[in-house]
Amino acid sequence: MSACPVQRPALKMENKDGKRYVTVEFERPGWQRFLGADRRCERTFGLDAYGQEVYDGCDGHTAVRQIVRSFAHAHHLSVAEAEVSVTLFLKTLMTKGLIGVPVPEPAMKET
């Protein structure tokens, strides 16, 4: 809960009809390239108002714990209810490649 998710660089962001459309670039899997597909492709994902709120919290400085608390407060939910929804949505954003969670390098011990 202390991790600070960060948005992947977007090629394009567009707000239309109450949704935000985020376009990101992906590298295709090797099997698709073997079959003749281009190495890179673009995908666009639509985020509703709730999704935008969580996505905007992924600034690389705000911990998941704080994103959950802010969401709970804004929507009059218990922290437990918000935690389930927000963490599941963050997992979806990670799976789709819209966000990442930097992993700190372990400190080196002096010998």
Position 27 scores a pLDDT of: 83
106: pLDDT strictly greater than 80: no
In this structure, are residues 68 and 82 in contact, taking their beta carbons and an 8 Å threshold?
A: yes
Position 111 scores a pLDDT of: 61
Average pLDDT over residues 32-42: 86
107: pLDDT strictly greater than 70: no
Any idea where the domains of the chain sit in the sequence?
Answer: 6-98
What is the Cα–Cα distance from 5 to 2, expressed in whole angstroms? Answer: 9
Q: Under 8 Å CB-to-CB from 35, ≥6 apart: which residues? A: none
Position 28 scores a pLDDT of: 81
In this structure, are residues 7 and 23 in contact, taking their beta carbons and an 8 Å threshold?
A: no
For 6-98, CATH gives 1.10.10
pTM above 0.75, yes or no: yes
Position 41 scores a pLDDT of: 86
